Amino acid sequence: MADDAKWYVVHTYSGYEAKVAATILSTVENRKLQDLIFEVNIPMETVTELKDSKNVEVERKLFPGYVLVKMIMTDESWHVVRNVRGVTGFVGPGSKPVALSDEEVRDLGVEKRAVTVEYGVGDSVRVIDGALNGFIGTVEELMLESNKVRVIVSMFGRDTPVELELNQVEQL
């Protein structure tokens, strides 16, 4: 049943995103709707700001005023989400919510996908995607929790460390 669930964008009052997300989750728990509404996500990004001459990492909302909800769209699930205090509606024409495409979900990074890594530190790899497509390098570090790999590639006669997504390289 969870395979039928899609991600929908809910518009909220600015600043109410966390309250709306918490209310949706508690309503799902109280009404036992776990088979209709699966996840609630507020897309965040980590940025470095300069405060008092020091770099400070701060979490910022990627889309202020919006919350993402993974759910199976039924009259009941629509009604539950739509009637949460602070929600102004779903994103879509009129009153018809439009689900995010798989590509949009992937680009937003709201779902964690398991990537099998067939290479390790010290292995030779080929870059298969991005600006460095075709370059060959050596894996220096694997950062599985952030879905990144640091590869040393030779550019203009110099060894240069490059940070890439795990699926942008393949083992030679």
The string of pLDDT tens digits covering residues 22-40 is 999 999 999 999 999 999 9
Whose tokens are 């405060």? That residue is 51
Whose tokens are 């779903």? That residue is 90
The string of pLDDT tens digits covering residues 97-130 is 999 988 888 778 776 666 678 888 999 999 998 8
- pLDDT of residue 94 exceeding 90, the answer is no
- Name 12's bridge partners: 87
Report the share of the chain in percent with pLDDT over 70: 95
- Name 148's bridge partners: 143, 165
Sign of the dihedral through C-alpha 155, 159, 165, 166:
positive
Tokens of 6: 């899609």
Range with the lowest mean pLDDT among 37-46, 115-124, 154-163? 115-124
Segment 83-102 mean pLDDT:
90
With a CB cutoff of 8 Å and minimum separation 6, the contacts of 136 are 124, 125, 126, 127, 153, 172
**Domains of the chain from N-terminus onward:** 2-108 (3.30.70.940), 124-171 (2.30.30.30)
pTM of the model: 0.65
Whose tokens are 């995103």? That residue is 17
Closest CA to 87 of 64, 62, 65, 72: 65
Per DSSP bridges, beta strands 66-71 and 158-165 are unpaired
Burial class (CB in 10 A: 0-12, 13-18, 19+), 56: exposed
